[in-house]
Structure 1
């Protein structure tokens, strides 16, 4: 059975509403003879999903946390040394944390250190992270980024109705607090001068998260990032309206289960779906190299029709992803989070496409043209030099097809590539 035949059968399964999930799983299982997910996200040693599998009707955060990196508490690097000198202390943690920091990512993606003034990046998640602002302060101080606080007007935290109180219950035990810290810090890494709006849904229900996106837009967000995913199934398309806001860029992670049926909201045609790469230093002109990360979500939607601007031929529905950035936990960013059930908290490394989504949201805001991203169409006509074409790596077994294999030009694991400066944005 060919990949194209399998995808068409998947879309035919939409008529079997009462058995949709079972049919879809059967059609993409190894037993079907053509498609199997890489599952790389769960196969990597010393990596755990921050959030457990979500029940039907809910979304799961997509952060992947390294369990072998415990960097301690507090400000690190030159900022810590300067603070120690002022305070007369004898010692300080002068080395930067493990994992990539903002300067590393700027170098890898050719981004300027200034820009983004007047833009507001909204990060949508579930439950409350009570230490979100203080953790962000440690991260930004460590890397020399300007303060972003409620006091100076840069940072706001609200519930899904847009109110500052009451906030949802704490999400520490659920893992969503790790996701929130990752989102805030990756957006900051890409656009240090952007304002940040954190919108916390009461629960990870599709209805609550969709309402939180609507609230973010109503409060002035110019870019909205969503680092979570739910199983695409009958009824999923009913929430597409919450993720369609002309003039506002809505970005979502493509998932961390390799080649499989895409998750919502990344599969919506109004959303920019962000896949993931493995990023490492290299002895070349760029100084870096990227391959498709094996866990990056890629595939063909069974429920969302093909957008007119998406030209690939082997998927009759919406293909994800559109663009990508670093996501592999083995080559992931440094994150500071103190509300967590994974260890004692502090500096660690977190990955997943939920790292790539807020970073791309920050890049869009940094470029200053988010109104041009009511969907991902701009990325399909972007100048070739504006994106790094990722041509190696795969997310599963599909006999070399672009739906799970990185190839020259467009492919589902990495989309149209990764940022190379801002000309594509």
Structure 2
């Protein structure tokens, strides 16, 4: 279908198919008074397609906060800002030195560059435009003729992705690969194209249900050591999804990030909505030693904020499925995956011949250990756990290759 689909029917379909018309979330920052007087509500933006080979985005949208078309002078939009996020994960003072973070997405966002400009200007980030060479948008074949289909759910997802990469790594270049559709063949073609363009950090906020045939797609990742693929773990608490289940990607789970009067400025717990658990079809990678899933891949590897109750500020004029435009509060592991991709970029290029999803397991001391909260039947625990993995970034040292990995790669002639 060409053009923007009818907005009201989209929202109705999303609420019926997803079954989250008014999902209560824990009280959090920016717009959540204490004492339980206000319970934030949110919707999943993308319904789960009936076809298991069609991807869904992982964006969530606060529905109790109406969109703001503009922000009054000397005010700020609701939701966590880039400054909040950099403080929470100790990313201040880090620079990406022009490294490129790629984003793969379905369909086309007609206002992407101008929306990104508003977001970055609001928060004092340097401009990131096509003219400056900072922002590139291509199709899945590497060309400049972009898809013509505009789907509001995916446009909102695209805004989240570029805003969160900007928040984590303000001087990173951003490459967006807009795929023809959300069918698996197109989505994986976009992943391959991002690699072909030279990106070492590729953020992906989309998923499929786990299925027996999923290992057949793993070559898109296993054939590209030295590239950090981050995938959202999903927003169905305690359930696993693919490609986050692949043993060759970084599965990014979600947390609730609450402002506190502490030196860090925040407290954190596992978000009840985060996807996690034991893969039904993928073997356990050699770097995982947990007993949660003795023989199969455990999800997640790392985590970052995803709870829409403590969500992030996002600017989008596509419009969203609800029909509004402007400033929104967004959540879902859609937020966490690009944040972690940006943090990987701040950490430096991966070691050739290595798989960066293994790096956090070599540096657990460089993550905030999340020990409270639960998703499905999986609790957060001291040390590694399924909902939050090894934890959330405490700086970027935990996302760097161990020294012996570089030595091994060089010795192997990589």
User: What's the TM-score once normalised by structure 2's chain length?
Assistant: 0.84
1:46 and 2:27 correspond? no
In structure 1, what is the equivalent of residue 54 of structure 2?
58
292-301 or 157-166, larger mean C-alpha shift = 157-166
In structure 1, what is the equivalent of residue 211 of structure 2?
233
Aligned mate of 1:95, from 35, 57, 75? 75
1:247 and 2:226 correspond? yes
Kept in 1, the 8 Å contact 2:108–2:146? The answer is no
Distance in 2, matches of 1:233 and 1:249, equals 23
Structural mapping, 1:303-322, within 5 Å: 303-315=281-293, 316-322=295-301
Aligned mate of 2:171, from 193, 211, 235? 193
Kept in 2, the 8 Å contact 1:243–1:265? The answer is no
Aligned mate of 1:374, from 349, 355, 376? 355
Kept in 2, the 8 Å contact 1:267–1:304? The answer is yes
282-291 or 319-328, larger mean C-alpha shift = 282-291
Tell me, what secondary structure is at the counterpart of 2:218? helix
Unpaired segments ≥5 residues, structure 1:
1-38, 77-91, 398-403
Q: Deviation per CA, 1:184-212, whole angstroms, max 9, x where unpaired?
A: 00010000000000011111111111110
Q: Deviation per CA, 1:156-178, whole angstroms, max 9, x where unpaired?
A: 01111111104241122xx1111
In structure 2, what is the equivalent of residue 409 of structure 1?
383
Distance in 2, matches of 1:284 and 1:112, equals 17
Judging changes above 3 Å, is the alpha-carbon distance between structure 1 residues 40 and 289 closer, same or farther for their aligned structure 2 residues?
farther
Q: Deviation per CA, 1:116-141, whole angstroms, max 9, x where unpaired?
A: 01310001110101111111000000
Q: Rg bigger for which structure? A: 1
CA RMSD of aligned residues (A): 1.7
Give the C-alpha shift of residue 257 in structure 1: 0.4
In structure 2, what is the equivalent of residue 18 of structure 1?
none
Kept in 2, the 8 Å contact 1:222–1:371? The answer is no
In structure 1, what is the equivalent of residue 63 of structure 2?
67
Tell me, what secondary structure is at the counterpart of 1:370? coil
Q: Deviation per CA, 1:336-385, whole angstroms, max 9, x where unpaired?
A: 0111222321101000011000000000001113347624211111051x
Distance in 2, matches of 1:129 and 1:41, equals 27
Kept in 1, the 8 Å contact 2:135–2:174? The answer is yes
1:422 and 2:396 correspond? yes
Distance in 2, matches of 1:198 and 1:378, equals 25
Give the C-alpha shift of residue 224 in structure 1: 0.3
Distance in 2, matches of 1:371 and 1:168, equals 38
Distance in 2, matches of 1:171 and 1:389, equals 38
Instruction: Say how many residue pairs are matched.
Output: 361
Unpaired segments ≥5 residues, structure 2:
1-19, 26-39, 400-414
Give the C-alpha shift of residue 43 in structure 1: 4.6
Kept in 1, the 8 Å contact 2:350–2:356? The answer is no
